[in-house]
Amino acid sequence: DAKTTQPNSMESNEEEPVHLPCNHSTISGTDYIHWYRQLPSQGPEYVIHGLTSNVNNRMASLAIAEDRKSSTLILHRATLRDAAVYYCILRADRGSTLGRLYFGRGTQLTVWP
Amino acid sequence: DTAVSQTPKYLVTQMGNDKSIKCEQNLGHDTMYWYKQDSKKFLKIMFSYNNKELIINETVPNRFSPKSPDKAHLNLHINSLELGDSAVYFCASSQRWDDNNSPLHFGNGTRLTVT
């Protein structure tokens, strides 16, 4: 069900930028790209989403390739609290999978002090 | 104030028992969900209700029965518990189920252990 590919793990130092990649080569024209993260012993937390254009919010930035076959979640200054599993998810805008989030394995981000 | 709250946080029970997990959201959202995270950490959608009506049933065994008394509550009842039901169950809500600009808000989960 998960149609995205992410590295299993990444590491960063505190206060450095982090670029988390995601490949979604089979994305359809109506799929939105969503990012959630899951901190230890907590439920998933929404981070950001986009369709075609790059997006910024208080948590992160989302850079979407022109062909939409890949995207990158950017944490501008990693903190220890950002250590989590980050999920890149394609969310359909219509059809039989409407309303569903299909989570893959995600990327485990480790942040070193 | 917790936006999406689940009770209990932990649930340990024996095979064959019947148990319920409760979920409440105070965000005023129309849609609520149940997701299951298994031992390999995969998160999978189980059910979704919109304004008390079932809109998503993702091929879950009939032993699982969700109930939504009102749009702020979605409970999950499980009959005849099996070892394979051991998992963390997450409740979530969103303003709308069919709008990509409506992110999901998750609770902190209920860890169910069946012995």
Tokens of B8: 């209990």
Specify the pLDDT at position A94: 84
Q: What is the DSSP letter of A16?
A: S
Average pLDDT over residues A75-103: 92
Whether the predicted pLDDT of A79 surpasses 70: yes
Smallest Cα distance from A74 to chain B, Å: 19
Please give the residue of chain B at the shortest CA–CA distance from A30: B100
- N-to-C CA span, chain B: 34
Whether the predicted pLDDT of A89 surpasses 80: yes
Whether the predicted pLDDT of B89 surpasses 80: yes
Using a CB-CB cut-off of 8 Å, the residues of chain B touching A42 are 108-109
Using a CB-CB cut-off of 8 Å, the residues of chain A touching B92 are 43-44
Q: For residue range A18-76, what is the model confidence (pLDDT) as tens digits? A: 999 999 999 988 899 999 999 999 999 999 999 999 999 999 999 999 999 999 999 99
Q: For residue range B7-19, what is the model confidence (pLDDT) as tens digits? A: 999 999 999 999 9
Whether the predicted pLDDT of B111 surpasses 90: yes
Whether the predicted pLDDT of B2 surpasses 90: no
Specify the pLDDT at position A97: 84
Pairing of strands A18-23, A70-75: antiparallel
CA distance readout (Å), A19 to A60, A84, A85: 10, 14, 14
| Residue bearing the bigger pLDDT, A72 or B99 | A72
Question: A45 in contact with B at a CB cutoff of 8 Å?
Answer: yes
| Residue bearing the bigger pLDDT, A94 or B37 | B37
Please give the residue of chain A at the shortest CA–CA distance from B41: A105
Tokens of A107: 């990327």
